[in-house]
Chain A
Amino acid sequence: DTGVSQNPRHKITKRGQNVTFRCDPISEHNRLYWYRQTLGQGPEFLTYFQNEAQLEKSRLLSDRFSAERPKGSFSTLEIQRTEQGDSAMYLCASSLGSGLSNQPQHFGDGTRLSIL
């Protein structure tokens, strides 16, 4: 069990650029989640996958945000035309589950995005 891996750890970019983050979940976990955490706040839910299907999206996920999980393994989160307000820590979590089973979510170290 190597844990949830996120890359890159830090990303600095200019406003208006596109960025993409990657998350590799724990290998046997079929569920994958993205959260956003701003300084001094708790994480906020963005989206959730079960296998390759994106089953839930928060209204925080504007049309500039897109997430994918091809083949139900790793996931990518892309932000297009970045804005100052996108500066945050982006956290990925994974869990094992089916139906109403509720195994706890395991978090990665996060990707810190800074918009210049």
Chain B
Amino acid sequence: EVHLEQSGAEVKKPGTTVKISCKVSGYTFVEYYIHWVKQAPGKGLEWVGLVDPEDGETRYAEKFRGRVTVTADTSADIAYVQLSSLSSEDTAVYFCASVVSGTTHFDSWGQGTPVTVS
């Protein structure tokens, strides 16, 4: 069974950088895309970006382009999202989610990592 385990809550100062991890297990890491989704307090879901661990290809939402970096460490089966120049608007829960290569839906989600910028 696919399992995504995220790193713990973060509290950051404005202007700094946060890096969140997503450890995947139960499947072949390179056969899935890993996406990151933001959910601000009381708000809906917002797509941030994705990485294809097989070749490192990344894609980002226009809103976050230039501030976000998504990476994958295939030696440890861990995906990361790094967000820089933090502001209070980045306060949110960030989820990782997996999509089987060749399919079009999220089949598993991490538990979420709360990030507070204050």
The judgment on whether A and B are partners is no
